[in-house]
């Protein structure tokens, strides 16, 4: 009929009479006379909060003395967050509406309240502390309740709270509470960027299907204006480039496009700059990388080019032949009117002949050679 209970030094125990709370048992040996087996003991670890929520509510309302002696109450309102410390070390971030009772004893518990109505940003010191290498998710519980944004150099962060743009974040580290609100940070690169518009199949005015690849360089001129007017600025720019390219190609014939590809660049960039004049985006340059023709059109154009080049070559050959004939005729007229010129031509001919042989034998003197009575023996 006597019962004996041992409470360890790192524990407390709850004495219950038919399930109803009687008192808290401290470390040591407890003996009780229980002939009807009505008593029970529930052991509780000092490292965990009180698990019985009904008992916790009873202690808050009807046993304030027991609550003050054995527990530290950490009760938060719906617009408060909490930082729970054990021995001055941050161990947990408590969400709004938390109601917990922690045992006093081995660990010194402390609660730091945060008013979520005043500001959605974390203090800079707390942000740096949460990003320390020694504080990982395994060491601090409740890190899902905060958003840590690391903005790299040459970037800005667009802070959105409940879908509304609040401000721009400069390069560096920032932290925000996620409780009671939807917080997101979108990183924006301020440097010059390239956008590729590839594989655009467009019909020309003369019904020829072309595939074009376009490249554009752009940057943000005003980030707040761009994100304030456009849901997705990059996607909007891509669509505007598509529309401008179709307008430039679809209203011109194939010959016009092939003769002046720079015209496409000029038309596209002029239309895009006009459409994006007040959007906060600056298009610096646009260029058509290549124009891909259908297979049968390539064959036809190759034949056309081959015929044109053949005709050009024939014209050039005829022109050269005419010029050569005219030059020979002029030379003949000069020699006919000037015997000295004829003599010099004969000597020039003899010199060229002499360059191709090893030995020359002349009989009858030089006059015979020049008069056609020359006997040449080459060995």
The pLDDT score that the predictor gives to residue 378 is 38
Average pLDDT of the residues in 278-298? 82
User: Topology of domain 194-293, per CATH?
Assistant: Tetrahydropterin Synthase; Chain A (3.30.479)
pLDDT digits over 28-82, tens only?
998 888 888 888 888 888 888 988 888 999 998 988 899 999 999 999 999 999 9
Report the share of the chain in percent with pLDDT over 70: 85
- Confidence (pLDDT) at 52: 86
User: Per-residue pLDDT for 376 more than 50?
Assistant: no
Using DSSP's 3-state secondary structure scheme, residue 154 falls into coil
Range with the largest mean pLDDT of 33-47, 175-189, 328-342: 175-189
Cβ-contact 27, 11 below 8 angstroms: yes
Per-state percent for the chain, helix, strand, coil, to nearest 5 = 35, 35, 30
Every domain of the chain and the residues it spans: 2-143, 194-293, 302-370
> How much is the pLDDT for 136?
53
Q: Can you list the positions of beta strands (E) in 95-145?
A: 99-103, 109-115
Q: How far apart are CA 246 and CA 240, in angstroms?
A: 10
Chain centre to alpha carbon of residue 171 = 17
User: Does the pLDDT of residue 245 top 70, yes or no?
Assistant: yes
Mean pLDDT of 250-278: 87
**What pTM value is reported for the model?**
0.65
Q: DSSP class of residue 145?
A: G
pLDDT in tens, 107-164: 889 999 999 988 889 988 888 888 877 655 457 888 889 999 999 999 999 999 988 8
Q: 223-241, pLDDT tens digit by residue?
A: 999 988 888 899 999 999 9
From CA 192, how far away is CA 260, in angstroms rounded? 27
Better pLDDT: 135 or 255: 255
């Amino acid at each position: 009929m006597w019962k004996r209970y041992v409470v360890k030094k790192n524990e407390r125990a709850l004495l219950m009479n038919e399930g109803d709370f009687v008192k808290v048992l401290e470390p040591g040996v407890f003996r009780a006379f229980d002939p009807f087996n009505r008593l029970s003991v529930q052991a509780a670890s000092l490292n965990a909060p009180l698990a019985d929520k009904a008992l916790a509510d009873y202690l808050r309302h009807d046993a304030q003395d027991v609550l003050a002696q054995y527990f530290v109450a950490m009760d938060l309102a719906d617009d408060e967050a909490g930082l729970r410390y054990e021995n001055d070390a941050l161990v947990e971030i408590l969400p709004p509406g938390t109601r917990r009772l922690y045992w006093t004893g081995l660990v010194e518990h402390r609660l730091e309240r945060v008013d979520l109505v005043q500001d959605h940003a974390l203090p800079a010191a707390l942000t740096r502390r949460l990003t320390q290498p020694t504080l990982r998710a395994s060491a601090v519980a409740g890190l899902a309740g905060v958003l840590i944004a690391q903005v790299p150099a040459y970037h800005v962060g667009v802070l959105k709270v409940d879908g509304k743009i609040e401000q721009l974040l400069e390069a560096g580290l920032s932290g925000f509470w996620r409780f009671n609100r939807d917080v997101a940070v979108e990183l924006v690169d301020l440097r010059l960027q390239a956008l590729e518009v590839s594989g655009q199949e467009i019909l020309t005015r003369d019904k020829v299907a072309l595939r074009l690849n376009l490249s554009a360089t752009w940057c943000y001129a005003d980030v707040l204006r761009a994100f304030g007017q456009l849901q997705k600025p990059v996607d909007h720019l891509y669509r505007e480039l598509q529309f401008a390219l179709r307008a430039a190609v679809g209203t011109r014939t194939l010959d016009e496009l092939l003769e002046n590809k720079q015209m496409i660049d000029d038309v596209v960039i002029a239309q895009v700059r006009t459409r994006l004049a007040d959007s906060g985006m600056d298009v610096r340059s646009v260029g058509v990388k290549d124009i891909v023709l259908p297979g049968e059109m390539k064959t036809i154009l190759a034949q056309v080019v081959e015929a044109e080049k053949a005709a050009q070559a024939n014209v050039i050959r005829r022109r050269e032949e005419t010029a050569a004939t005219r030059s020979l005729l002029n030379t003949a007229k000069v020699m006919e009117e000037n015997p000295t010129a004829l003599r010099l031509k004969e000597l020039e001919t003899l010199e060229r002949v002499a360059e191709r042989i090893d030995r020359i034998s002349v009989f009858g003197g030089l006059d015979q050679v020049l008069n056609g009575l020359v006997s040449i023996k080459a060995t």
